[in-house]
Amino acid sequence: MAGVPLHWINKSLHMPTFHSATLLGDLQQDVNNLLAAADRYLATQPHAILLQQPAPGSWSAIQCLEHLNGYGRYYLPAIDEAFRKFLAQNRTVPDHFKSGWLGNYFTQSMAPKPDGGLKMKMQSPGTTVPLPSSMPCRRSKSSRRSRSGCSPYCRPPSR
């Protein structure tokens, strides 16, 4: 893998085994913490601030959220379908989970450092880069977040 630091490959080859229920619980708690942080930091911000790019070439808060939602619109239905097929086969969920080396590599590389900074900046494929102009909001007002729309912070400016 050209461009991949050797220490990442070595780390990725030593994949931990996780207790499935504990891992899912930890991931759910992470999501809940991130949603609470987004509510604290973004909910009160004016739309114009959320659209503002902090530096040339950097993404605005709304662009970041739309990027994540774009992946969610792709992966969440695929995950749901995989779960549906798995459960339709009356199989039991394994007690333990062990990631493959590639999944482990990407998980480690995307996890934030203790200070919240990036471990490694990655280029996003062009089709997943949100436009820097105002982002459309396709979110229903009846739900806090929607798999088919963007974040609740992506709203039209108040008039």
Q: Is the pLDDT of residue 5 over 70?
A: no
Across residues 116-127, what is the average pLDDT? 77
In the chain, % of residues over pLDDT 70: 74
Instruction: Give the pLDDT mean for 140-156.
Output: 45
pLDDT at 144 over 50: no
Q: Which amino acid is at 28?
A: Q
CA–CA gap between residue 25 and residue 108 (Å, rounded): 19
56-60, 65-69, 106-110: segment of lowest average pLDDT: 106-110
| Residue partners of 110: CB distance under 8 A and separation at least 6 | 119, 122
Q: How far from 116 is each of 12, 123, 146, CA to CA, in Å?
A: 21, 19, 26
pTM of the model as a whole: 0.66
Query: What pLDDT, on the 0 to 100 scale, is given for residue 11?
Result: 54
The pLDDT value recorded for residue 36 is 92
Range 1-27 average pLDDT: 73
- Which is higher by pLDDT, 29 or 133? 29
User: pLDDT at position 151, please?
Assistant: 53
CB-based contacts of 112, cutoff 8 Å, min separation 6 = 118, 119
Q: Taking residues 75-102, report their average pLDDT.
A: 91
Mean pLDDT (whole number) for 30-48 = 90
3-state helix, strand, coil in the chain (%, to 5): 50, 5, 50
